A and B are shown apart, each in its own frame.
Chain A
Amino acid sequence: MICDFEYFSPKTLKEALGLLDQYKGDYKIIAGGQSLLIMMRQGLIKPRYLIDIKGLSELDYIKSDPQKGLRIGSLITHRAIEKSPVIKESFGILSEMEHKLASIQTRNWGSIGGNLCHGDPAGDPAPVLITLNGTLTLTSLKGERRILVEDFFLDYFETALEPGEMLTEIQIPPLPPHTGVAYTKFNVIENDMAIVGVGVSITLASINGHCKEVRIALANASPRPMRAKQAEEILRGKKITDDLLSQAGEIASQEADPISDIHASEEYRRELLKVLVRRVGEEALLRAKKS
């Protein structure tokens, strides 16, 4: 059952930041609340102050620039990303990923920022943003700071957000030429939470050239969304072959630190990672060649 709390719905970012500063330590921020309210209903989180930022139109934008890349306000809903023509055009992988995130109802109300701040290692947006080399802007009364998406997650449901800070924007740099990105999650029923998920981006030196840059990100494979850096290393600078991708899969599977739970054992998750890294890598490669 939800505890009683004092409710604020600031109309401007400044007002919101002021409230965060004022109630440091005792507040929770609610955006779409699609994850938060589940925990509050179970009585697991009992904030004294609830700061509702859903109405901050300042953070509700998608801006795209061929030079600077993509900027997404943290309150943009999953569905808005899924349906945005600009995003479909330039970062199709984001729409693809959102399309399979939870249910339409959740996507309609839940925001990308809320999803990231929830810090669930099984979430889909984080690994995709990591493969896209995304950064986040965290804002407080003191000012702004930037952090790489891959550095944002500290542990299960723990992020780098300091008291008084709020995630305000997500930035994605423009994709270099000959870059392909793919993301797949494995689940038993469709559009469910990832048992494991794998995102790969590959940048080729030329259409059939060697791998100039590669990023591999894993979902639900460790206490936080993680980058499989050792697996990347095996591909970087080389001409990618099936064999090499299989090797990357093996390595990523060893790098990962998955748990056993009712949905899959640790061993099985590792098996899946091997297969998925290879498959998603193949897809990314194909896309890189086509781009």
Chain B
Amino acid sequence: MLIEGKFTMRAPIQKLWNFLLEPGTLASCIPGAEKVETVDDKTYECVVKQSVGPISVRFKFNVELKEVDPPRYVKAVGRGEDIGKMGTFTCDAIVRLNEISDEEVEVSYQTNVNIVGRLATFGERIMRAKAKSVGEEFTKNLQKRLKGEMA
């Protein structure tokens, strides 16, 4: 399932890039992130808790920065599973920075999330609903953090 969107930031592209690439920036914006630990400069380990009504899951996964093309493009790949074995989780995220002017950058992202297992069987409808709200919150968090950082 594809979650995508874009927004613009008032900041120099290099500054934005440096911040984005700091380990944990992206992961810590994921709603429900409980833990983000750096494994090496390209890999970190996250635990994210999510719930829909009475169902709650805790995904433990590794994020690896697969392709990095500074200061414009980064592709991260996440793999993991629910601690309670309710599902396996894979995710490819691409973030692109596009300079509109010296002081303005368009941030676009594209995340392809895939969850297989009991969770997915329960209802694609609900998964999607959740993904939508998680996606929106993620953007909000990212914008907030960037704004805070760039201010």
Contacts and interface: CB of A to CB of B under 8 A. Distances in A.
B126 interface: yes
Contacts of B14: none
B127 to A, nearest CB: 9
B118 interface: yes
A44 B55 contact: yes
Contact of A28 (B54, B121, B129, B132): B54
A261 B128 contact: yes
A259 B128 contact: yes
Measured as residues with beta carbon below 8 angstroms from the partner, the interface class of chain A is: 10 to 19
B148 to A, nearest CB: 27
A185 to B, nearest CB: 15
B118 A42 contact: yes
Contacts of B133: 223
Given A223-B133, A259-B132, A45 B54 contact: yes
A119 B53 contact: yes
B contact face: mostly helix, strand, loop, or mixed: helix
A42 B121 contact: yes
Which of A44, A122, A158 has the most chain B CB within a 10 Å cutoff?
A44
B125 A157 contact: no
Contacts of A262: 124-125
Interface in B24-53: 52-53
Interface residues of B, number: 18
Interface in A6-53: 28, 38-39, 42-45
Interface in B71-128: 84, 86, 118-119, 121-122, 124-126, 128
A263 interface: yes
A45 B119 CA distance: 11
A44 B129 contact: no
B130 interface: yes
A47 to B, nearest CB: 8
B118 to A, nearest CB: 5
Nearest to A259: B129
Interface of B: 52-55, 84, 86, 118-119, 121-122, 124-126, 128-130, 132-133
Interface of A: 28, 38-39, 42-45, 119, 122, 155-158, 223, 259-263
**9 A-B pairs closest in CB distance:** A157-B53, A261-B125, A44-B55, A261-B128, A259-B129, A42-B118, A158-B53, A45-B54, A156-B52
Given A156-B52, A157-B126, A259-B125, 6 more contacts: A43-B86, A44-B55, A155-B53, A156-B126, A261-B124, A261-B125
